Structure 1
Amino acid sequence: MVRNWGVVAQRMVPPIQGGPLLGWVGPLLVAIFGGVLRFVRLGEPKAVVFDETFYIKDAYSLLTHGVERTMLGNADNPIADKRLITGNLDIFQQCAQPVDCASFVAHPPLGKWMIGLGELLFGMTPFGWRFTAALAGTLSILIMARVARRMTRSTLLGCLGGLLLALDGLHLVLSRTALLDIFLMFWVLAGFACLVADRDWARRRLIDRFGGAPIGELGPRLGLRPWRVAAGVCLGAACAVKWSGVFFLIAFAVMSVLWDMGARRALGLRQPYRGALSYDVPGGFAALAVAPAVTFMASWTGWFVTAGGWGRNWDQATSSGPLFFVIDSVRSWLNYQTQVLGYHSGLEDYHPYMSEPWQWPLLLRPVSFYYPSDLPPSACGAGECSQAVLGVGTPALWYGAAPALIAVITWYVATRDWRAGTTLLGFAAGWLPWFYYAIADNRTMYLFYMIPVVPFMVLAIVLVAGLILGKERASSGRRAAGAATVGAFALIVLINFGWLYPVLAAETITQAEWWARMLMRSWVTAAPK
């Protein structure tokens, strides 16, 4: 018999401050604020920005043919890009056979399908191909606020988390650009949020099934866990955007099992680890291994059901009956994935804005997404004008995250608090693997690879903010001082973001104003002419 069952239950699932209504209204308002920043002037610049030239064409090809096919033009041929903007969509090369049009692509299709949805709804225009990126960025702010609220049990801290994510410059730029990374971040954050919700759900289920009754050695079976299945689908979707989603999938699967063990131990079971291995791990395998695999494979449906995909070998696959079709199709698909792996391992081409992972947290080398050199003086009313999109995080936020992460490490070592450990795991899963590629493969990499990690940087700041604010029973003076400190930090981030905004969102300014916002010489490859 477990004594003081109510105390045990409250410790396992603490109440959240504020009612459910406020818990939704606050995060929604923060998300609307972030959405305004992302959707206003979304069609600017009216040009193909950085690697949009690849993904918007692949997305349109998926909509039209179900697979990526070769199109007229490339990064060195602006004529095709101009034709895209003017609406002339007759941009596929003429092919004798579908296989002649097959295009080798290095990333799975889901992110490009998501870009294609915007093109389907709003046309092959800058607004159209950036629409779903802005939508994913806005929704991620809402998810950030809700998951931070659940982890801290504070609506105020949850809204702080959403606000800080909304004010990150790198998040803003990628939310306004048709690249894949914002979708990777969205699905990783969504999967993480589902697992945090599953943690609460599983603990409530354990409490409800016992309620102080005699407990066996292993505890109960929890049955179907919908939040964990949803997490598996989301993390599978992350892998279906970019392969690097697998780092988070593995880390979070292990994390979920450890949470199950901890829940059964907190319940007072004699054999909590055996109970988790017997009852929770099999379902966890289905949710966090089978569901992601099915989701990943489903994203390739267009490749399997059409003849024009890279390495498809359609004629051979259809020559000997249904069973051979399946076997040969899978064999061809696996061979394609091997080629993709080899491509990523050997990607060593020089790029003027490439950087190393140890440089990323300090923002030493951001990426210039857009900088036209032919703006007339009339564009800004000065002798020299600039219009830029610089892929860089908000320095006040990123430099604040560094000591926050150190504080969270200290907190975790001292207390083993699950929130600190989870935040550190998410950060490590998205950052540390790149060190291997930098050292072993000398791979070409960019600062924006950090975007899936930004939510965990924000979480670190939110957790430290909670420590600074103190508990509700702390003295009013302590609470006031803590609120002033946290509020001052948020205000500094807001001011810093506002100062950088013109070079994040392609506003036309004088070149002197542009230079003033280049905080480090390393932010510029060469002085513009």
Structure 2
Amino acid sequence: MFDRLRERPVLTAFLLGLAAQILFLVHLGHPAVLMFDEQHYVPAARVLLSLDHPVNREHPLLAKEIIAAGIALLGDNPLGWRLFSTLSGAATVACVYAILFQLCREWSTAVAGALFTLWNQMVFVQARIAMLDGFLGLFLTASVAAMLWAMHGPDGGAVKRRLALTGLLLGLGVAVKWAAVPYVACAGAALLFLRARDVHRAGRPWRDAVSAQRQRLWTDTHAITALLIVGLVSIATYFATFAPAFFYAHDAMTFAQLIPFQFEMWALQTQILPAHPYQSDWWSWPLILRPIWYFYAPNNGAWRGVLLIGNPAILWGGIVAVAACLIQWWRSGNGPALGAAGLWIGSLAIWAIIPKSLGFFYYYYPSAIFLSIALALALRPLAGKRGHRFRTGFMLLSAALFVYFYPILSAMPLDGERAFTRWIWFRGWI
């Protein structure tokens, strides 16, 4: 069975996504009330369905439009609120497989990365709540997969179409949350860096890096053309998602207001907010110092909890994996290892720079996904029986920790008000 799947990467990605989707759907209706930031986004989606007036003006519309689509499809209930979050989480798992398969062309490494993504716990929790970050994670990982696909296009036409897809996905990411904006710039920087690296290795003039001729990556495509495709498509996609705002019954958007509204969102995004009990600094997220209880209360006849907490083996082990990837690159020029480490470092550095008055652990969501990629690549070079046993043992430990935390990830019935204490390793986890 596995031998057949090794030869069918698309089917493998589909099956991994399907398995994740089934897991995310189990008891999706619990809790049966709005939890944590669903209290902001589900009401905004309801208003958006009615096209009455603008609400939740500090964020673009796309994620709320997607939540509204789930409500329209399945009703104003927990399944309707969270349906498309589950689909985005499942697709994220498949996208991680696609990224790794394109990086190393190894089925087992790609599957391992997808499983780490499924077991890292943050994807599981965000796939079962109607918040923005699950959609952001999907569009970012899908854009990375599309960019890699474009790198190896057989001709200029295929490359341009795949670059347009990359721009589309990045634009959708920005339309979910402005935190995706730096990734658009990083896509362009990666293209220029890899082109410059190739011409340097070949001993060619630096100006050849932008040429469409004799290119190993993004073949038959001028660098300026590639940058324009990604940039213009992402911008057009972003603004297209504001279409419903032009049809509000009250305070409808006009074309003259579209650009000024972006400055209004910026002001709302950068305003000084009051302290929050779950706020935390960006440097603390990799250490899991302050996870977030999305829910802990009696519901449907039992105490239930939903804790956004990363899998300790994957999040802590992932930091070691990033260091290992950097060492691999330094010693052997391993490009995929540098790319994986760069994704994690860059995704975290964004939050060190962005002028936000408060930070929260869920901002680490894309970085946690990229850790799964780094882990898979860091474990890849281990050889021999000891290496194989270590890889297997680490994966089993990751899976076991996911099972251990599962009751407070999935809002399972607990045996009392103080039941949560069995999962509290540190005081900051309360």
Report the TM-score, using the length of structure 1 for normalisation: 0.75
Listed one character per residue, the Cα deviations across residues 185-209 of structure 1 (whole Å, up to 9, x for unaligned) are: 10000000001111122xx44xxxx
Structure-2 residue corresponding to 1:260? 195
Equivalent residue of 1:370, what SS?
Answer: strand
Listed one character per residue, the Cα deviations across residues 12-32 of structure 1 (whole Å, up to 9, x for unaligned) are: xxxxx9877432343333323
User: Does 1:355 pair with 2:280?
Assistant: yes
Determine if contact 1:236/1:295 at 8 Å carries over to the other structure. yes
**Which of 346, 360, 371 is the matching residue for 1:446?**
360
Query: d(CA) in 2 for partners of 1:306 and 1:281?
Result: 41
Q: Which moved more, 1:251-260 or 1:273-282?
A: 273-282
Structure-1 residue corresponding to 2:393? 488
Query: d(CA) in 2 for partners of 1:166 and 1:273?
Result: 43
Determine if contact 2:285/2:364 at 8 Å carries over to the other structure. yes
Higher Rg:
1
Structure-2 residue corresponding to 1:232? 167
Determine if contact 1:239/1:245 at 8 Å carries over to the other structure. yes
Query: d(CA) in 2 for partners of 1:429 and 1:445?
Result: 17
1:232–1:309 CA distance, 2 compared to 1 (3 A): farther
The root-mean-square deviation of aligned C-alpha atoms, in Å, is 2.3
Structure-2 residue corresponding to 1:518? 424
User: Does 1:300 pair with 2:235?
Assistant: no
User: Does 1:508 pair with 2:413?
Assistant: yes
Percent identity between the two aligned chains: 22
Determine if contact 2:31/2:299 at 8 Å carries over to the other structure. no
1:464–1:182 CA distance, 2 compared to 1 (3 A): same
Deviation, 1:347, is: 3.6
User: Does 1:433 pair with 2:350?
Assistant: yes
User: Does 1:400 pair with 2:306?
Assistant: no
Determine if contact 1:224/1:283 at 8 Å carries over to the other structure. no
Listed one character per residue, the Cα deviations across residues 450-476 of structure 1 (whole Å, up to 9, x for unaligned) are: 11112211111011111114xxxxxxx
Determine if contact 1:251/1:425 at 8 Å carries over to the other structure. no
Question: Could you tell me which amino acid in structure 1 is paired with residue 237 of structure 2?
Answer: T
Aligned length: 419
**Which of 22, 31, 40 is the matching residue for 1:54?**
40
Determine if contact 1:264/1:276 at 8 Å carries over to the other structure. no
Listed one character per residue, the Cα deviations across residues 322-373 of structure 1 (whole Å, up to 9, x for unaligned) are: xxxxxxx34422222112111111142211111110110011001110111x
**Which of 322, 329, 352 is the matching residue for 1:412?**
329
Equivalent residue of 1:432, what SS?
Answer: helix
Query: d(CA) in 2 for partners of 1:147 and 1:442?
Result: 30
1:96-175 residue pairs with structure 2 within 5 A? 101-175=53-127
Deviation, 1:276, is: 2.1
Listed one character per residue, the Cα deviations across residues 88-111 of structure 1 (whole Å, up to 9, x for unaligned) are: xxxxxxxxxxxxx44351110111
**Which of 171, 190, 210 is the matching residue for 1:276?**
210
Deviation, 1:51, is: 1.0
Structure-1 residue corresponding to 2:258? 333
Determine if contact 1:370/1:390 at 8 Å carries over to the other structure. yes
**Which of 464, 467, 471 is the matching residue for 2:378?**
464
Query: d(CA) in 1 for partners of 2:316 and 2:193?
Result: 31
Question: Could you tell me which amino acid in structure 1 is paired with residue 389 of structure 2?
Answer: A
**Runs of 5+ consecutive residues of structure 2 not aligned to the other structure:** 213-220
**Runs of 5+ consecutive residues of structure 1 not aligned to the other structure:** 1-16, 70-100, 206-220, 313-328, 380-385, 470-477, 525-529
